[in-house]
Amino acid sequence: MSQPAISALYVGHLREMMAGADRALAAQGYEGLIVASGSLRYLYLDDNSYPFKPNPRYRSWVPDGTPDCFVVYRPGSRPSLLFHQPDDYWYLPPALPEGYWVGSFDLKVVRSPAELKQSLGGATRWAVLGEPTAATEGLGDHDPAALTTLLDYARATKTPYEVECMARASAAGVRGHRAAEAGFRAGATEYEIHLGYCRAAGAREEELPYNNIIAFDTHAAVLHYQHLDRQRAPTVRSFLIDAGAQFAGYSSDITRTYASASGDFQSLINALEVAQQALTALVRPGKDYREIHLAAHRAIAGILVEHGIVKGTPEAAVAEGVTSVFFPHGIGHLLGLMVHDAGGFMAGPEGGSRPKPEGHPYLRLTRNLEAGFVVTIEPGIYFIESLLAKAKANGGGRAIDWRRVDALKPFGGIRIEDNVVAGAGAPRNLTREAFAGTA
């Protein structure tokens, strides 16, 4: 998409942001909104800071991610951006923002966050979004729950601009994934694959939406495997990569699994691939996301029985909870400025929550899908030692063929994850689009 096109999409997005803020402010009796980008946090007993992660509520207004900046908005007026550009010679001060979105704001450069108070003018009942700081102390109510509930519920529905940002994040992520697979095939270590991913995605490590999961063999049975081995075993059977990228603060979240050779594990990957694509086809407005999760368990039960891992019928495997031994997490989550985006359990704009299905405590989204929702669909089949041992100990493993499990356990596990947009007609699969569009 060309630059003028994303500029037009952003104008429409900002219009939606302002309209939503107008409704929420009026409903709660506030006259204006201050949205803080956030401040650097420092390590304990140190003068070195953690990587800066902007307030996602701020970044829904502006793509910029500079600390100590503020969006100031009064209904009926253009939003202002107070951009913090300190007079500093220890670190390079941030350059003035530029690009497709800047012209939509009244830009004011400040040398200190304290100048926020001087810039606000007369008395106004402000709602302040962001962590309290000295700059915002006494200005208004911080993160008032009734207002943030309205905003977070609406945030699940993405504007065309936001979807385009996630499409671009998907393209960057896929470039990294292709480099990662090539590194795996060429004999690289987990650590080397991670470096190759960052290079191909064009991202510093701190610019990734989450820490890359680069897992060989049994490491793939650790759902959020957090290490990067510097050595590679002489024989590596499998490779799972869960890694994303960002564009303008919006994330992609992509997982692929590879076998080093043909055989039973590759057949299992192929079967899960078919099931995963059938599940993505269910991402449509009006669909209860909980039903997609339960459909995933039914599909995985069929695969486990077909491949001789579980004895009996798929229906019995689901009813007796055997599928949860091999698929212990949820089928996915909302995606946006946060990898696990806000509002996944909300019953309505005024709050409340929709329960998770009984026996499925780790599902991260329980809402009915609406047009503009972007979700992940990520079924998995894993051979997790602790869950297998528990099933064997409590009698739940009677239906499991332990010889098949022992043969497959060294491969760790499989996860396949796409990012999918619900809308009119067939779902839009941002991940498959990106893979199809790269060589």
DSSP codes of every residue in 320-358: TTTHHHH--S-S--B-SSSSS-TTTTBSSTT--BPPPPT
Helices then strands, each counted (H, E), the chain: 13, 16
Tokens standing for residue 282: 């269910």
Spell out a b/e string for 116-126, using b for 16 or more CB atoms within 10 Å of the CB, else e.
Answer: beeebeeebeb
**Domain assignment of residue 244, given as a range:** 160-436
Same domain, 255 and 323: yes
Same domain, 66 and 194: no
Same domain, 388 and 327: yes
Q: Is 64 helix (H, G, I), strand (E, B) or coil?
A: coil
Domain C-terminal end among 132, 155, 178 = 155
Same domain, 247 and 311: yes
| Average pLDDT rounded to a whole number, residues 408-425 | 97
pLDDT digits (tens, 9 = 90+) for 335-362: 999 999 999 999 999 999 999 999 999 9
Contact 237, 260 (CB under 8 A): yes
pLDDT digits (tens, 9 = 90+) for 223-279: 999 999 999 999 999 999 999 999 999 999 999 999 999 999 999 999 999 999 999
| Average pLDDT rounded to a whole number, residues 151-175 | 97
How much is the pLDDT for 1? 52
| Average pLDDT rounded to a whole number, residues 121-133 | 89
Same domain, 327 and 428: yes
Structurally, the chain folds into a number of domains equal to: 2
Strands 254-259 and 413-415: unpaired
Domain C-terminal end among 155, 176, 202 = 155
Look at residue 2 and tell me whether its pLDDT is greater than 70. Answer: no
Same domain, 397 and 327: yes
Q: Binning pLDDT at 50, 70 and 90, where does residue 4 land?
A: low
Look at residue 115 and tell me whether its pLDDT is greater than 70. Answer: yes
Tokens standing for residue 44: 């304990």
Same domain, 147 and 274: no
If one compares 116 and 439, the residue with the highest pLDDT of the two is 116
| Average pLDDT rounded to a whole number, residues 186-197 | 98
Instruction: Determine the Cα–Cα distance for residues 200 and 375; give it in Å rounded to an integer.
Output: 24
Same domain, 139 and 273: no
Angle at which helices 3-28 and 145-155 pack, to 10 degrees?
150
Same domain, 209 and 346: yes
Helix or strand (DSSP H, E) at 21: helix 3-28
CATH number assigned to the domain comprising residue 169: 3.90.230.10
Same domain, 130 and 167: no
| Average pLDDT rounded to a whole number, residues 77-94 | 94
Look at residue 5 and tell me whether its pLDDT is greater than 50. Answer: yes
Contact 401, 308 (CB under 8 A): yes
Look at residue 439 and tell me whether its pLDDT is greater than 70. Answer: no
Give backbone dihedrals phi and psi of 274, rounded to 5 degrees, phi first. -65, -45
Instruction: Determine the Cα–Cα distance for residues 180 and 197; give it in Å rounded to an integer.
Output: 6
Same domain, 172 and 314: yes
- Enter the pTM of the model: 0.96
Contact 215, 172 (CB under 8 A): no
| Closest C-alpha to 363, from 323, 388, 334, 391 | 334
How much is the pLDDT for 397? 86
From residue 29, alpha-carbon distances to 24, 105, 124 in Å are 9, 24, 11
Strands 374-377 and 380-382: unpaired
Same domain, 122 and 249: no
**Average pLDDT of every residue of the chain:** 96
Q: Binning pLDDT at 50, 70 and 90, where does residue 3 land?
A: low
CATH number assigned to the domain comprising residue 92: 3.40.350.10
Domain C-terminal end among 96, 120, 155 = 155
